[in-house]
Amino acid sequence: MRSLARTLDRGLWRDIALVCLAVGVIGVSYGAIAVTSGFPWWFPVLMGSLVLAASSEFLFVGIVAAGGSPIAALLAALLVNARHLPFGLAVPDVLGRGWRGLLGTHLMNDETVVFAIAQDGLPRKRAAYWACGLGILACWPAGASLGALLGSVVSDTDALGLDAMFPAVIMALIVPAMKDPKLRRTALAGVALALATTSFLPPGLPVLVALAALPLFTPAAAAPTEGAAR
């Protein structure tokens, strides 16, 4: 933890803390929905610790609660988590080896990968990845546990609007970067692809489809130095 504290600046710590807090709030919604759908209180907590993938967990609970078979729910959840394959290709040097690699793979999700690839230099990439991943590992099951308790006393958890916090925090974090025209164009194209496929794809897959907009983002090449020009 000391090395993480030395590597990351205060602003990045703040951003990571906000995302982890938002994940915890979504965990409250997840735990409450799971319990009100008929699952025992310990199920969302256990799933939150072992799976650590919000969209696939929501999908699994939703399919089983609607009368679908657990096998079908499992296959759908695995399909949603297929987006982790390109994630792994994006951060192979961040995960480490041995037990660190296993734990690092378990912590892999949208947030940890985004924070990692946004940093300059391998030390900062690793620090951001592990700080965010460990924070989510703590906040997601904790939120699910609180939600499980809440679900036993609140019948309509949707009325709380807990699911709105996470996209609101993410939006606040990415808005400053939208000043770049190329990045803004790429983001809008990704949003369009995600919205166009949301109506017929399971939750989580539209995000994977949105990656098709990445070729639109081609950072400008660095200008040659004076010596190189000569």
DSSP letters, 103-115, are: HHHHT-SHHHHHH
Residue 222's pLDDT is: 39
SS3 61: helix
- Provide the mean pLDDT of the chain: 80
Q: What is the mean pLDDT of the segment spanning 101-109?
A: 89
Residue 151's pLDDT is: 78
Q: Does any domain span residue 200?
A: yes
Same domain, 126 and 213: no
- pLDDT tens per residue, range 170-184: 676 677 667 778 888
Question: Which structure tokens are listed for 156?
Answer: 């309509």
Q: What is the mean pLDDT of the segment spanning 109-137?
A: 90
Residue 130's pLDDT is: 93
Residues 130, 161: Cα–Cα separation, whole Å: 29
Q: Which domain holds residue 211?
A: 180-221
Same domain, 209 and 138: no
Q: What is the mean pLDDT of the segment spanning 23-46?
A: 88
Residues 139, 134: Cα–Cα separation, whole Å: 9
Total structural domains in the chain? 2
Q: Does any domain span residue 229?
A: no
Same domain, 102 and 194: no
Entry pTM? 0.70
Give the dihedral sign, CA 202/46/136/35. Answer: positive
Residues 101, 82: Cα–Cα separation, whole Å: 19
Same domain, 26 and 103: yes
Same domain, 121 and 212: no
Same domain, 109 and 148: yes
Structure letter (DSSP) for residue 8: S
Same domain, 79 and 156: yes
Residue 138's pLDDT is: 95
- pLDDT tens per residue, range 66-90: 787 888 888 878 887 887 888 888 8
Q: What is the mean pLDDT of the segment spanning 14-31?
A: 89
Q: Does any domain span residue 63?
A: yes
- Residue 221 pLDDT exceeds 60: no
Residue 227's pLDDT is: 44
- Residue 189 pLDDT exceeds 60: yes
Strand extents, DSSP E, the chain: none
